Structure 1
């Protein structure tokens, strides 16, 4: 496997930039590339070989090459081409495929109506722009997706963060600052933890707050026929808005917002991404419609995904890895400082295993990690290959001295009332 190094050529090809920008670009190469990454690049390791095990894709249900979906896309491209390229605000009529699909998604999620957007990012930023302003306090989980934070910023609203999944801290914030909008992910994309949605909904109802739940990593993978965690928990009447990227389990390129019928029209003529971006292309709509058919019908994919993820979480925990509360198909190996994460990335890739590197601003400083995205197509042999690699490399990556490992050991010692120590065999190889 070759090292990916073509990014380096970009370092010296800039035309002369004005000093105000040149200083910013130079700071990136000096502070991140040279100081943090020792002249390498945290995202650019080896090139995957033919036998690589890819654990970086969000195609959780393994449907990106499903023949039924591909046939629908190809047939539509031949029939419709790229269609009419225009803003979605001009779409109307009962025969419009995109509007029909909006109604299908809404019914699927147990909502009155919904809006298809160009991406999950556009859905989140557009929604927050349309429900908040400078006078609106927005209570946001500190691990919420960056698109939600960007929506708060672009709305000019006041962001008030609360500790991850800490309902008591959320309520304290609301009592101090008043009613507003509460924003959480159902499943957090960084570490796979799950929000305590029922308790959060209770707090929102008690304090008259709007509740927004991003279901990007639970739509398709959780709930009856994949309808999401909100449906699974029976909270559809208590969550005001659900958003989702359809580039995860739905393996497409779009976003969705569930809402009321009255809000649906309001959003389309208030949210800037809805007004000033072109609508989805016809073949994207056809592909998503076929994908919804597959996801509703093939429940075995969710069952296999859940079983694969559960197996890996149990085995990795037995090996001593701190999974930071993962309960889903997203598993984080948190090495901490970026240089340690480069060592972890290299150890995995040397064994033909490729995950996704997450570092600031996707994580907090010094909490970088390699995210493992489990999928339904993983075989028993591939699961064992990954576990064997994680077992073999613990000493090589100094796993017992990762900050995340030490945190887990500290919590375990506190619960047991005894000091946990590194196993002798592992200390000998560290």
Structure 2
């Protein structure tokens, strides 16, 4: 029987992989592509049409095409080209990257900061620089993969705790001792928000280093978009904040806030900082322009929050379990990858394109479609999403999703709208 792996083989000459590599490649095509996805691919559904609703981008404020950003990048690209291609450890003096580091750290109300190649390398480099094989690193079970990879890179001891569970974290610290605590302010998989104040209290009590990844709250939350840590007044209680600038900042970079003395230490201690080239000049100017846009984007942030809250409320009324999501990230958790493909096809056939999340981005059999809400969505577009999600409930067998079953019995005191009662009746059929 011809497999998906066989169909990819070309007539071109290629190196022969040894068995220990070839077997892993073949296992992927056999177990996932052939057995689980039926020869298709969970990430590759329909090609979006011109009128498709794209809910897969992290451009939450809808500024990726902002003329100020494009103009700034174009001007720098024409004047500086790709600049000097070298490691950031050579930068000093009056250069744009160091200026932007200072500006962004001031914006985030931090003493200093370090610009990295990506949020992924920021997390890996930071943990590598603060943890060792003797350091317990406490990590939320839903924390971003880059945080887990940072622990592995540091050779540190990973000690997971239940998602957003401060009591379980404290139990772990009492058992294993002082260390580093890693959380996301907003979790990228399901949009849940971390109770940062409660976690800061635990870290303070046990003298742990508190690290918060603000990738999905920087730009969208807090005063002028300075993030949830600033919104909650926790700047002095969070030792390090990290962020991917490939979200609201619509660029390709990462950032770490830190004490002033740590800034140089990191640049000469972190492997990603030492052994990677700096960002290109036009990328720096684009990020700098994006910061100016974000500072003045109060109306966009208000619209984003309104869009997300309204859509989330409507989907819950239709019977969808949004897993405590309280942000611009809305997760429709179908469960198995097969069910998620059915959900993907149902949405895409009606012009709605989200992001498929499956293992290893989620736990096994907790695959989902993530809808990333943005500020440019109109009322009519939100109504379309609601209408589609209402219409497909039977087609995707919403009542059989494990996430739906986890909703359990609803409190009798809850008042249902006519639409809610209709939805519940439909799910009971």
Superposition TM-score tier, normalisation by shorter sequence: over 0.9
* Deviations 1:329-386, CA, capped at 9 Å, x for gaps: 0000000011000000000000011000000000000000000000000011111111
* Deviations 1:117-156, CA, capped at 9 Å, x for gaps: 0000010000000000100000000000000000000100
Q: Which residue of 1 aligns with 2:127?
A: 128
| Shift of residue 426, structure 1, vs aligned partner | 3.8
Helix, strand or coil at the partner of 2:370:
strand
Q: Which residue of 2 aligns with 1:36?
A: 36
Helix, strand or coil at the partner of 1:293:
helix
Determine if the alignment matches structure 1 residue 71 to structure 2 residue 85: no
Compared CA separation, residues 421 and 208, structure 1 to 2 (3 A):
farther
**Equivalent residues in 2 for 1:134-213 (5 A)?**
134-213=133-212
Helix, strand or coil at the partner of 2:333:
strand
Q: Which residue of 2 aligns with 1:388?
A: 387
Q: Which residue of 1 aligns with 2:90?
A: 90
**Equivalent residues in 2 for 1:14-413 (5 A)?**
15-93=15-93, 95-410=94-409, 412=410
Q: Which residue of 2 aligns with 1:425?
A: 426
| Shift of residue 34, structure 1, vs aligned partner | 1.3
Helix, strand or coil at the partner of 1:269:
helix
Helix, strand or coil at the partner of 2:197:
helix
* Deviations 1:232-268, CA, capped at 9 Å, x for gaps: 0000000000000000000000000000110000000
Distance in 2, Cα, partners of 1:136 & 1:425: 52
Helix, strand or coil at the partner of 1:73:
helix
What is the TM-score of this pair, normalised by structure 2?
A: 0.95
| Shift of residue 9, structure 1, vs aligned partner | 8.8
Distance in 2, Cα, partners of 1:198 & 1:357: 31
| Shift of residue 73, structure 1, vs aligned partner | 0.1
Compared CA separation, residues 197 and 415, structure 1 to 2 (3 A):
farther
Compared CA separation, residues 55 and 402, structure 1 to 2 (3 A):
same
How many pairs are equivalent?
A: 417
Compared CA separation, residues 61 and 179, structure 1 to 2 (3 A):
same
| Shift of residue 227, structure 1, vs aligned partner | 0.0
Helix, strand or coil at the partner of 1:369:
strand
What is the TM-score of this pair, normalised by structure 1?
A: 0.94
User: Does structure 1 retain, via aligned residues, the 8 Å contact 2:319–2:424?
Assistant: no
Q: Which residue of 2 aligns with 1:4?
A: none
| Shift of residue 423, structure 1, vs aligned partner | 3.3
| Shift of residue 427, structure 1, vs aligned partner | 4.1
Helix, strand or coil at the partner of 2:269:
coil
Distance in 2, Cα, partners of 1:422 & 1:393: 12
Distance in 2, Cα, partners of 1:363 & 1:43: 14
| Shift of residue 26, structure 1, vs aligned partner | 0.7
Distance in 2, Cα, partners of 1:60 & 1:423: 32
Distance in 1, Cα, partners of 2:181 & 2:215: 17
Q: Which residue of 1 aligns with 2:9?
A: 12
Helix, strand or coil at the partner of 1:423:
helix
| Shift of residue 280, structure 1, vs aligned partner | 0.7
Compared CA separation, residues 38 and 198, structure 1 to 2 (3 A):
same
* Deviations 1:156-198, CA, capped at 9 Å, x for gaps: 0000000000000000000000000000000000000000100
| Shift of residue 425, structure 1, vs aligned partner | 3.3
Gaps of 5+ in 2: 415-420
Compared CA separation, residues 399 and 122, structure 1 to 2 (3 A):
same
The farther-off stretch of 109-118 and 34-43 is: 34-43
User: Does structure 2 retain, via aligned residues, the 8 Å contact 1:400–1:422?
Assistant: no
Gaps of 5+ in 1: 1-6
Distance in 2, Cα, partners of 1:116 & 1:233: 24
Helix, strand or coil at the partner of 1:239:
coil
Helix, strand or coil at the partner of 1:69:
helix
